[in-house]
Amino acid sequence: MILLDGVSKFYAVRGFGRRWILRDTTAVIRPGDRLGILGRNGSGKSTLIRLLGGVEYPSSGAIERRMTVSWPLAHGIGVHSQLTGSDNARFVARIYDLDPEELVEAVDHFAELGSYMDMPVATYSAGMMSRLLLGLSMAMDFDCYLIDEATSVGDHRFIERTQLALETRLRDRAVVMVSHSAVHIRTFCRTAAILHDGYLTFFEDLDEAIATYEAL
Protein backbone atom coordinates (compact mmCIF):
# COMPACT_ATOMS: atom_id res chain seq x y z
CA MET A 1 0.00 0.00 0.00
CA ILE A 2 0.98 3.60 -0.55
CA LEU A 3 -0.80 5.96 1.82
CA LEU A 4 -1.11 9.66 1.14
CA ASP A 5 -2.13 11.42 4.32
CA GLY A 6 -3.13 15.05 3.87
CA VAL A 7 -0.41 15.61 1.29
CA SER A 8 0.13 19.08 -0.11
CA LYS A 9 2.81 20.09 -2.57
CA PHE A 10 3.54 23.49 -4.00
CA TYR A 11 6.41 25.29 -5.66
CA ALA A 12 7.26 28.88 -4.95
CA VAL A 13 7.09 30.72 -8.27
CA ARG A 14 8.80 34.09 -8.43
CA GLY A 15 6.15 36.82 -8.66
CA PHE A 16 3.24 34.39 -8.68
CA GLY A 17 3.24 33.10 -5.13
CA ARG A 18 2.57 29.38 -4.96
CA ARG A 19 1.93 26.92 -7.72
CA TRP A 20 -0.09 24.10 -6.28
CA ILE A 21 0.48 20.54 -7.41
CA LEU A 22 -1.53 18.83 -4.69
CA ARG A 23 -3.84 20.28 -2.06
CA ASP A 24 -4.45 18.33 1.14
CA THR A 25 -4.87 15.02 -0.65
CA THR A 26 -5.60 11.76 1.12
CA ALA A 27 -5.55 8.58 -0.95
CA VAL A 28 -4.58 4.91 -0.92
CA ILE A 29 -2.92 2.85 -3.64
CA ARG A 30 -3.41 -0.85 -3.00
CA PRO A 31 -1.46 -3.89 -4.21
CA GLY A 32 -2.71 -4.94 -7.64
CA ASP A 33 -4.21 -1.53 -8.46
CA ARG A 34 -3.90 -0.37 -12.06
CA LEU A 35 -4.34 3.34 -11.64
CA GLY A 36 -4.05 5.86 -14.44
CA ILE A 37 -3.71 9.53 -13.58
CA LEU A 38 -4.74 11.96 -16.28
CA GLY A 39 -3.62 15.54 -16.33
CA ARG A 40 -2.92 18.33 -18.76
CA ASN A 41 0.60 19.53 -19.48
CA GLY A 42 1.95 21.30 -16.42
CA SER A 43 -0.68 19.97 -14.04
CA GLY A 44 2.05 18.33 -11.96
CA LYS A 45 1.80 14.71 -13.07
CA SER A 46 5.54 14.11 -12.99
CA THR A 47 5.86 15.79 -9.61
CA LEU A 48 3.08 13.56 -8.29
CA ILE A 49 4.86 10.44 -9.46
CA ARG A 50 8.12 11.68 -7.91
CA LEU A 51 6.25 12.22 -4.64
CA LEU A 52 4.94 8.63 -4.78
CA GLY A 53 8.46 7.37 -5.47
CA GLY A 54 9.97 9.30 -2.56
CA VAL A 55 12.18 11.39 -4.83
CA GLU A 56 10.54 14.65 -3.87
CA TYR A 57 9.11 15.40 -0.47
CA PRO A 58 5.64 16.81 0.19
CA SER A 59 5.38 20.40 1.44
CA SER A 60 3.09 19.09 4.16
CA GLY A 61 1.42 15.81 5.03
CA ALA A 62 3.03 12.37 4.77
CA ILE A 63 3.43 9.60 2.22
CA GLU A 64 3.96 6.12 3.57
CA ARG A 65 5.13 3.29 1.34
CA ARG A 66 4.21 -0.13 2.71
CA MET A 67 5.26 -1.98 -0.43
CA THR A 68 8.34 -1.80 -2.60
CA VAL A 69 7.98 0.90 -5.22
CA SER A 70 9.97 1.24 -8.43
CA TRP A 71 11.78 4.46 -9.18
CA PRO A 72 9.64 6.77 -11.34
CA LEU A 73 10.13 5.49 -14.89
CA ALA A 74 10.46 8.51 -17.12
CA HIS A 75 12.49 9.29 -20.20
CA GLY A 76 16.22 9.35 -19.42
CA ILE A 77 15.68 9.21 -15.67
CA GLY A 78 17.66 6.89 -13.43
CA VAL A 79 20.06 5.99 -16.23
CA HIS A 80 23.24 7.70 -17.36
CA SER A 81 23.26 8.88 -20.95
CA GLN A 82 26.99 8.29 -21.52
CA LEU A 83 26.87 4.72 -20.29
CA THR A 84 25.68 1.81 -22.40
CA GLY A 85 22.42 0.00 -21.76
CA SER A 86 24.37 -2.93 -20.31
CA ASP A 87 26.44 -0.74 -18.01
CA ASN A 88 23.31 1.02 -16.81
CA ALA A 89 21.73 -2.35 -16.08
CA ARG A 90 24.84 -3.43 -14.16
CA PHE A 91 24.77 -0.21 -12.15
CA VAL A 92 21.11 -0.61 -11.25
CA ALA A 93 21.72 -4.27 -10.35
CA ARG A 94 24.52 -3.30 -7.96
CA ILE A 95 22.36 -0.63 -6.33
CA TYR A 96 19.50 -3.09 -5.74
CA ASP A 97 21.78 -6.00 -4.80
CA LEU A 98 21.04 -8.19 -7.82
CA ASP A 99 23.42 -10.17 -10.00
CA PRO A 100 24.59 -7.70 -12.70
CA GLU A 101 24.96 -10.21 -15.53
CA GLU A 102 21.60 -11.83 -14.80
CA LEU A 103 19.90 -8.45 -14.99
CA VAL A 104 21.68 -7.55 -18.23
CA GLU A 105 20.41 -10.79 -19.72
CA ALA A 106 16.87 -10.30 -18.45
CA VAL A 107 16.72 -6.74 -19.81
CA ASP A 108 18.13 -7.84 -23.14
CA HIS A 109 15.51 -10.56 -23.32
CA PHE A 110 12.59 -8.27 -22.47
CA ALA A 111 13.61 -5.10 -24.27
CA GLU A 112 15.05 -6.74 -27.41
CA LEU A 113 17.60 -4.01 -27.86
CA GLY A 114 20.12 -6.30 -29.51
CA SER A 115 23.46 -4.67 -30.22
CA TYR A 116 22.17 -1.37 -28.82
CA MET A 117 22.66 -2.82 -25.34
CA ASP A 118 26.32 -2.00 -25.85
CA MET A 119 25.74 1.53 -27.16
CA PRO A 120 25.55 4.67 -24.99
CA VAL A 121 22.00 5.44 -23.91
CA ALA A 122 22.38 8.90 -25.47
CA THR A 123 22.08 7.25 -28.90
CA TYR A 124 18.72 5.64 -28.07
CA SER A 125 15.45 6.69 -29.64
CA ALA A 126 12.51 7.48 -27.36
CA GLY A 127 11.06 4.03 -27.97
CA MET A 128 14.34 2.30 -27.18
CA MET A 129 14.71 4.32 -24.02
CA SER A 130 11.30 3.26 -22.81
CA ARG A 131 12.09 -0.35 -23.66
CA LEU A 132 15.29 -0.16 -21.63
CA LEU A 133 13.56 1.48 -18.65
CA LEU A 134 10.57 -0.86 -18.61
CA GLY A 135 12.87 -3.80 -19.28
CA LEU A 136 15.07 -2.82 -16.35
CA SER A 137 12.26 -2.35 -13.87
CA MET A 138 10.15 -5.30 -14.99
CA ALA A 139 13.14 -7.60 -14.74
CA MET A 140 13.30 -6.51 -11.12
CA ASP A 141 10.68 -7.32 -8.53
CA PHE A 142 8.70 -4.32 -7.31
CA ASP A 143 5.25 -4.41 -5.71
CA CYS A 144 4.36 -1.21 -7.49
CA TYR A 145 5.56 0.31 -10.76
CA LEU A 146 5.47 4.06 -11.28
CA ILE A 147 5.34 5.00 -14.94
CA ASP A 148 5.58 8.50 -16.38
CA GLU A 149 3.91 9.02 -19.76
CA ALA A 150 7.07 9.25 -21.84
CA THR A 151 7.82 5.63 -21.07
CA SER A 152 4.64 4.41 -22.66
CA VAL A 153 6.04 5.26 -26.05
CA GLY A 154 6.82 1.96 -27.65
CA ASP A 155 5.84 0.06 -30.72
CA HIS A 156 2.87 -2.24 -30.87
CA ARG A 157 4.90 -5.37 -30.28
CA PHE A 158 6.53 -3.94 -27.16
CA ILE A 159 3.24 -2.69 -25.71
CA GLU A 160 1.84 -6.19 -26.15
CA ARG A 161 4.85 -7.72 -24.41
CA THR A 162 4.47 -5.30 -21.52
CA GLN A 163 0.75 -6.02 -21.26
CA LEU A 164 1.44 -9.75 -21.29
CA ALA A 165 4.00 -9.40 -18.49
CA LEU A 166 1.56 -7.33 -16.45
CA GLU A 167 -1.21 -9.89 -16.95
CA THR A 168 0.89 -12.92 -16.11
CA ARG A 169 4.08 -12.72 -14.10
CA LEU A 170 3.28 -9.30 -12.61
CA ARG A 171 -0.46 -9.81 -12.26
CA ASP A 172 -0.66 -8.94 -8.57
CA ARG A 173 1.64 -5.93 -8.86
CA ALA A 174 0.34 -2.37 -8.75
CA VAL A 175 0.88 0.10 -11.56
CA VAL A 176 0.48 3.85 -11.31
CA MET A 177 0.76 5.59 -14.65
CA VAL A 178 0.50 9.30 -15.33
CA SER A 179 -0.29 10.58 -18.81
CA HIS A 180 -1.95 13.35 -20.70
CA SER A 181 -3.24 10.81 -23.18
CA ALA A 182 -6.39 8.81 -22.56
CA VAL A 183 -5.13 6.14 -24.98
CA HIS A 184 -2.15 5.24 -22.78
CA ILE A 185 -4.33 5.06 -19.70
CA ARG A 186 -6.87 2.85 -21.44
CA THR A 187 -4.15 0.45 -22.55
CA PHE A 188 -2.73 -0.28 -19.10
CA CYS A 189 -5.17 0.83 -16.40
CA ARG A 190 -8.42 -0.29 -14.80
CA THR A 191 -9.25 2.79 -12.74
CA ALA A 192 -8.34 6.41 -13.23
CA ALA A 193 -7.98 9.74 -11.51
CA ILE A 194 -7.70 13.27 -12.82
CA LEU A 195 -5.13 15.73 -11.54
CA HIS A 196 -6.35 19.28 -12.07
CA ASP A 197 -5.60 22.51 -10.15
CA GLY A 198 -4.06 20.57 -7.30
CA TYR A 199 -7.06 18.32 -6.85
CA LEU A 200 -6.83 14.58 -7.44
CA THR A 201 -10.27 13.18 -8.28
CA PHE A 202 -10.73 9.41 -8.39
CA PHE A 203 -13.13 7.55 -10.71
CA GLU A 204 -14.10 3.91 -10.44
CA ASP A 205 -15.03 3.80 -14.10
CA LEU A 206 -12.35 4.39 -16.70
CA ASP A 207 -14.75 5.71 -19.35
CA GLU A 208 -16.27 8.20 -16.95
CA ALA A 209 -12.80 9.48 -16.02
CA ILE A 210 -11.79 9.85 -19.65
CA ALA A 211 -15.02 11.61 -20.57
CA THR A 212 -14.63 14.02 -17.65
CA TYR A 213 -10.98 14.63 -18.54
CA GLU A 214 -11.76 15.36 -22.15
CA ALA A 215 -14.48 17.81 -21.15
CA LEU A 216 -12.05 19.83 -18.97
Partner 1 sequence: MSGASRLGDPGGVSRTLRGARLQLRVIQALLLREMQTRFGRNQLGFLWLFLEPLLLAGAIATIRWAFAPTNPYPGIPIFVFALVGYLPYFTFRAIVSRAPGTLQANMTLLYHQQIKLLDVVLARHALEFAAIITIMALIVFGVAVWADLLPNSIPILLVGLVLLFLFAHGLGLCAAAAAAASEIAERLIHPLVYLSLPLSGALIPLHSLDPSIRAVLLWNPQAHIHEMVREGFFGHLLPSYFDIGYVVFWVGIVNLLGLAALRAVRPRLEF
Contact residues: partner 1, CB under 8 A:
11, 47, 50, 53-57, 69, 71-72, 76-78, 80, 82-83, 87, 91-92, 94-97
Provide DSSP, 63-105.
Answer: EEE-S-BPPPB-TT-SS-TTSBHHHHHHHHHHHTT--HHHHHH
Contact 113, 89 (CB under 8 A): no
In the bound state with partner 1, the residue whose beta carbon lies nearer, of 79 and 200, is 79
Residue 87 CB contacts under 8 Å (≥ 6 apart), including other chains: 80
In the bound state with partner 1, the residue whose beta carbon lies nearer, of 83 and 159, is 83
Provide DSSP, 97-158.
Answer: T--HHHHHHHHHHHH--GGGGGSBGGG--HHHHHHHHHHHHHHS--SEEEEEGGGG---HHH
In the bound state with partner 1, the residue whose beta carbon lies nearer, of 39 and 53, is 53
* In the complex, least distance from residue 80 CB atom to partner 1, rounded to whole angstroms: 6
* In the complex, least distance from residue 11 CB atom to partner 1, rounded to whole angstroms: 7
Task: Provide the residue type at 174 as one letter.
Answer: A
Residue 216 CB contacts under 8 Å (≥ 6 apart), including other chains: 40, 194, 196
* In the complex, least distance from residue 36 CB atom to partner 1, rounded to whole angstroms: 21
* In the complex, least distance from residue 112 CB atom to partner 1, rounded to whole angstroms: 24
Task: Provide the residue type at 182 as one letter.
Answer: A
In the bound state with partner 1, the residue whose beta carbon lies nearer, of 37 and 182, is 37
In the bound state with partner 1, the residue whose beta carbon lies nearer, of 90 and 184, is 90
In the bound state with partner 1, the residue whose beta carbon lies nearer, of 15 and 156, is 15
Contact 70, 137 (CB under 8 A): yes
* In the complex, least distance from residue 83 CB atom to partner 1, rounded to whole angstroms: 6
* In the complex, least distance from residue 78 CB atom to partner 1, rounded to whole angstroms: 4
